[in-house]
């Protein structure tokens, strides 16, 4: 009986050594930004969530999903996630929110450092400066995901 148990234990250990390790893509701000930059120039498409065309939240959703972080596909719903971050404490990978319609949160971008964001706008996926008058005057806040 002990011999059978030992043999079984050895077989189980041996089999597990050859099984593929399943790992979900771990969230990394660096990898999210790397993925996002691959899509510079991708056209804007209302409701778009693929490299054929993105809207702002679809672009953020896609970039994070490719790196193991699932987000809702709505800038206002994304704003409910994460922890608030002061503008002076921004880190690459933080989500930046704007009121472009004058009423409520209507735009989201990914902070990439040095006062720059990457996002999908009417001209497609591009990098913009947070200090530009347009984005500075529409800034609402930022969130950090874990």
How many angstroms separate the first and last alpha carbons of the chain?
49
Alpha-carbon distance 15 to 103, whole Å?
59
What was the pLDDT predicted at 143?
98
User: Which positions are annotated as active-site residues?
Assistant: 56, 107, 119
pTM of the predicted model as reported, rounded to 2 decimal places: 0.82
- Consecutive 10-residue averages of pLDDT for the chain (146 residues): 47 37 63 98 97 98 96 96 97 98 94 98 98 97 95
Whole-number Cα distances in Å, 92 to 65, 80, 115, 132, 133: 17, 19, 10, 18, 21
Cβ neighbours of 19 (radius 10 Å): 7
Other CB atoms within 10 Å distance of the CB of residue 33: 19
Q: Please name the residue ranges forming H helices in the chain.
A: 2-18, 29-37, 56-65, 75-78, 133-136
Residue 27 pLDDT? 78
What confidence score (pLDDT) does residue 3 get? Answer: 53
CA distances to 7, 42, 84, 101, 118 from 95, rounded to whole Å, are: 53, 20, 10, 18, 10
Domains identified in the chain and CATH numbers: 25-144 (3.90.1720.10)
Q: How far is CA 42 from CA 74, 87, 94, in A?
A: 19, 28, 21
Residue 122 tokens read as 């009417």
51 bridge partner residues:
none
CA separation for the pair 118, 50 (Å, rounded): 16
């Amino acid at each position: 009986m002990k011999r059978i148990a030992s043999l079984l234990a050895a077989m189980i250990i041996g089999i597990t050594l050859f099984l593929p390790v399943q790992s979900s893509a771990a969230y990394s701000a660096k990898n999210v930004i790397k993925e996002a930059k691959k899509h510079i120039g991708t056209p804007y498409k209302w409701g778009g969530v693929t490299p054929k065309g993105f809207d702002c939240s679809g672009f953020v959703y896609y970039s994070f999903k490719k790196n193991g972080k699932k987000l809702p596909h709505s800038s206002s719903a994304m704003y409910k996630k994460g922890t608030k971050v002061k503008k002076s404490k921004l880190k690459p990978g933080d989500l930046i929110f704007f009121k472009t319609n004058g009423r409520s949160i209507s735009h989201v971008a990914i902070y990439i450092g040095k006062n720059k964001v990457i996002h999908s706008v009417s001209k497609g996926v591009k990098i913009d400066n947070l200090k530009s008058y347009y984005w500075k005057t529409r800034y609402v806040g930022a969130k950090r995901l874990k």
